[in-house]
Amino acid sequence: MRKHKPHREQMEHLRDLIKGIRVAMLTTVSDHGVLHSRPLATQEVEPDGNLWFFTRKDSSKVFDLRKNSSVNVSYSDPENDRYVSVAGHAELIESKAKARKLWSPSQTVWFPDGADDPYLMLLKVNVEQAQYWDHSAGKMVMFLALAKAYITGERPKESPSNVIHI
């Protein structure tokens, strides 16, 4: 049985796992119970693990979040075999000060008036749990396992995931 790491270490590990993966897939639940995913650029990962994004006030995700704040944020880095799935609850926040702090010129495409754009809203995900898949055995071991499964017709073993409890 694994011992849980102290909270600070868990958050540092989560930050390390998603570091450098700029775009995540945010999944919300529509008012009809349908899951809807869309890409968003991560603006900040706080030391406590909370995630910050920019969004438009008039977007479908904002409509979904006003009905149900449960979200999933997934990160994928296939080149390094890093896959992270984060579950939590989203908050919609209007803060020009925070928007200015997080602002980068690349956001002008979406928000022409900059951090003061009237349609700009912040989306903060309060992380409750994260799972990640660690393929530390390397790509060759994974390739051989898949090749064996193909040849024998037996399904490969599921990759074990690790859970970060918040």
State how far the Cα of 119 lies from the Cα of 115, in Å rounded to an integer. 10
pLDDT at 60: 95
Query: In 10 A of CB 2, how many CB atoms?
Result: 6
State how far the Cα of 162 lies from the Cα of 97, in Å rounded to an integer. 36
| Residue-wise pLDDT tens digits, 95-132 | 999 999 999 999 999 999 999 999 999 999 999 999 88
pLDDT value at 63 more than 50: yes
pLDDT value at 153 more than 90: no
Domains of the chain with bracketed CATH: 7-165 (2.30.110.10)
Predicted structure pTM score:
0.80
| Residue-wise pLDDT tens digits, 8-55 | 788 888 888 899 998 999 999 999 999 999 999 999 999 888 999 999
Phi (first) and psi of residue 96, to 5 degrees:
-65, -35
pLDDT value at 68 more than 60: yes
**62 compared with 156, residue with greater pLDDT:** 62
Matching residue, tokens 């979200």: 71
**What is the mean pLDDT of the segment spanning 87-101?**
96
CA Rg value for the chain: 18
pLDDT at 135: 61
pLDDT at 7: 73
